[in-house]
Amino acid sequence: MEQKPQASADEQAHVAAFEARIDAGESIEPKDWMPERYRKQLIRMMSQHAHSEVVGMLPEGNWITRAPSLRRKLSLLAKVQDEAGHGLYIYCGTETLGVDRTELLDQLLSGTAKYSSIFNYPTLTWADVGVIGWLVDGAAIVNQTVLAKASYGPYARAMIRICKEENFHKRQGYEIVATLANGTPGQRAMVQDAVNRWWWPALMMFGPSDKDSPNSADLLRWKVKHKTNDELRQRFVNLTVPQAQAVNLTLPDPDLRHNEETKNWDIGPIDWDEFYRVIRGEGPCNRERLEARREAHEQGRWVREAAAAYAARHSGARATQVA
Amino acid sequence: MTDTNATTTGATPDSQGPLWEVFTQAEQGAPHEHAGSVHAMDAEQALQNARDVYSRRGEAISLWVVPTSAIVASAPGDAGPFFDPGNDKAYRHPQFYKVPRGVRGL
């Protein structure tokens, strides 16, 4: 009975000390005390991020066998391999919060975990591969550059590693886009069509508008995020519009115009119904992506089993030798 | 059949394998620094996974992998008292000592 107020006073003191550290710009490390909600929010955010990297391999992996040249194929293979690596960096960071990767993978495969809704759109033509590198990786860079300053040390360090590699992704994408944009009328039409399909989903990658983002306040207060979804989206738009103009591509937004006062490119309204539909699982490729992921997991089972058997046999052999 | 061994290595028949911490040396003469972790069934696979995950662009010329369970770390809560014996000895720093004016090279 007397324990309870004592515990909550302790808890309050811990929270105060924790928030003082955050305010002082200190980095929180795995064994440090942290509020349960901070831990939970980080696990949610980081695992979704890791899943996105892994599922993100699917739409592009789809085009590896059909890349138009060996140069393009090498780049795409390396990019897709990077995405696998990025997933692993972030899973590794998430595990420092006391959750096992097997558990996270189970959540992905069972469909209970979320991942970025962008990967539920199909890659219909080769131009999509270029546009994904340019817009999707471009948007991810804007997001991740800020996350590299996140208050949780392992997350920030994973982001620094990722940011160093993403620029290659964006540039290889833009090179494909620029090549097609300067190509035959058919190639131009193909790349413009891809831009038209990816532009709005790319803008949705930054998440709901600030006023509708339920997790933003905590994440901002605890400096996991340093910028709001809308601020990051605006930064991305401002960076991207001149890049589209440079290769004479248009962006599918009749309301897009430069605001002389704010120096921003103002955009028209985003179709948030579409965003929530895709998150709910009603996007064009949600089922296909999860099925492909499950199939890959099952096809890898024998490798994991063989490696476990090999390791067991060898540790047995060593034990016998020592005896 | 392999259950006993699997338990000692922390692996179950379909698992990601135990966790290993990865340390990379960026260049000759530099210290090995913690890069992250990988899952692997044994040390050899841990090294290969660490190479594929943490050195795709020449980030390392040498790798160490250590079973995470083998690492012993100081506790953040005890950091103050634990490091005190080193922190309160100003005489271990050169600035503690007075040098006559004009003397150089000390």
The helix or strand, by DSSP H or E, that contains position B24, with its residue range, turns out to be strand B19-25
What length is written for chain B? 106
Global pTM reads 0.89
Q: Which residue in B has a C-alpha nearest to residue A168's C-alpha?
A: B57
Position with higher pLDDT, A87 vs A7:
A87
Q: Where does the pLDDT of residue A217 fall: very low under 50, low under 70, confident under 90, or very high at 90 and above?
A: confident
CA distance A85 to chain B (A): 5
The helix or strand, by DSSP H or E, that contains position B5, with its residue range, turns out to be helix B3-8
3-class DSSP state of B20: strand
Position with higher pLDDT, A281 vs A94:
A94
Q: Vertex A311, ends A305 and A314: CA angle to 5°?
A: 140
Please give the pLDDT value at position A318: 62
From the list A32, A78, A85, the residue facing B76 with the nearest CB is A32
Q: Do B57 and A165 touch (CB under 8 A)?
A: yes
| Sequence-separated (6 or more) residues with CB below 8 Å from residue B44 | none
Chain B contact set for A308 (CB, 8 A): 2, 6, 9, 11-13, 15, 17, 41
Please give the pLDDT value at position B1: 34
Q: What is the ipTM for the molecules in this complex?
A: 0.85
Please give the pLDDT value at position B84: 84
Q: Do B13 and A305 touch (CB under 8 A)?
A: yes
CA distance A32 to chain B (A): 6
Please give the pLDDT value at position A7: 62
What length is written for chain A? 323
CA-based radius of gyration for chain A? 22
- Report the distance separating Cα B89 and Cα B103, nearest Å: 25
Please give the pLDDT value at position A65: 96
3-class DSSP state of B34: strand
| pLDDT at residue A113 is higher than 80 | yes
Q: What is the pLDDT of residues B14-39, one digit of tens each?
A: 678 999 999 999 999 999 999 999 99
Q: What is the pLDDT of residues A181-207, one digit of tens each?
A: 999 999 999 999 999 999 999 999 999
The residue assigned the tokens 């922190």 is B87
The DSSP annotation for B37-105 comes to: EEE-SSHHHHHHHHHHHH-TTS--SEEEEEEGGG-----GGGHHHHHHHHHT-GGGSGGGS---TT---
Q: Which residue in B has a C-alpha nearest to residue A309's C-alpha?
A: B2
Q: What is the pLDDT of residues A18-62, one digit of tens each?
A: 999 999 999 999 999 999 999 999 999 999 999 999 999 999 999
- Report the distance separating Cα A304 and Cα B70, nearest Å: 23
- Report the distance separating Cα A265 and Cα A253, nearest Å: 11
Please give the pLDDT value at position A146: 95
Q: Do B73 and A102 touch (CB under 8 A)?
A: no
Q: Measured in whole angstroms, how far is the alpha carbon of residue A142 from the centre of its chain?
A: 11
Q: Do A89 and B14 touch (CB under 8 A)?
A: no
Q: What is the dihedral of CA A242, A245, A251, A257, to 10 degrees?
A: 60
Q: What is the pLDDT of residues A236-293, one digit of tens each?
A: 999 999 999 999 999 999 999 999 999 999 999 999 999 999 988 899 999 999 999 9
Please give the pLDDT value at position B4: 37
Q: Where does the pLDDT of residue A321 fall: very low under 50, low under 70, confident under 90, or very high at 90 and above?
A: low
The helix or strand, by DSSP H or E, that contains position B22, with its residue range, turns out to be strand B19-25
- What letter does residue B30 receive in the DSSP assignment? P
Q: Where does the pLDDT of residue A176 fall: very low under 50, low under 70, confident under 90, or very high at 90 and above?
A: very high
What mean pLDDT comes out for the span A151-167?
94
Looking at residue A145, its amino acid is T
Please give the pLDDT value at position A216: 81
Q: Do B6 and A312 touch (CB under 8 A)?
A: yes
Chain B contact set for A309 (CB, 8 A): 2
From the list B8, B53, B77, the residue facing A88 with the nearest CB is B53
Is A262 in contact with A169 (CB distance < 8 Å)?
Answer: no
Q: What is the mean pLDDT of chain A?
A: 93
Is A116 in contact with A56 (CB distance < 8 Å)?
Answer: yes
| pLDDT at residue B10 is higher than 90 | no
Please give the pLDDT value at position B5: 38
Q: Where does the pLDDT of residue A320 fall: very low under 50, low under 70, confident under 90, or very high at 90 and above?
A: low
CA distance B51 to chain A (A): 11
What mean pLDDT comes out for the span A94-120?
94
The residue assigned the tokens 């911490």 is B21
CA distance B101 to chain A (A): 40
Strand pairing report for A257-259 and B19-25: unpaired
Q: Do B38 and A31 touch (CB under 8 A)?
A: no
Q: Do B57 and A308 touch (CB under 8 A)?
A: no
Please give the pLDDT value at position A317: 64
Give me A300's structure tokens: 């890898």
Chain B contact set for A301 (CB, 8 A): 14
Q: Measured in whole angstroms, how far is the alpha carbon of residue A299 from the centre of its chain?
A: 25
Percent of chain A, pLDDT > 90? 85
Interface check for B2 against chain A (CB to CB < 8 A): the answer is: yes
Of A141, A83, A300, which is closest to residue B56 (Cα–Cα)?
A: A83
Percent of chain A, pLDDT > 70? 95
From the list B2, B12, B76, the residue facing A29 with the nearest CB is B76
Q: What is the pLDDT of residues B58-106, one digit of tens each?
A: 899 999 999 999 999 888 877 778 888 888 888 999 999 999 999 998 8
Interface check for B36 against chain A (CB to CB < 8 A): the answer is: yes
Which of A96, A160, A315 is best to mutate for the B interface (most B CBs within 10 A)?
A315
3-class DSSP state of B35: strand
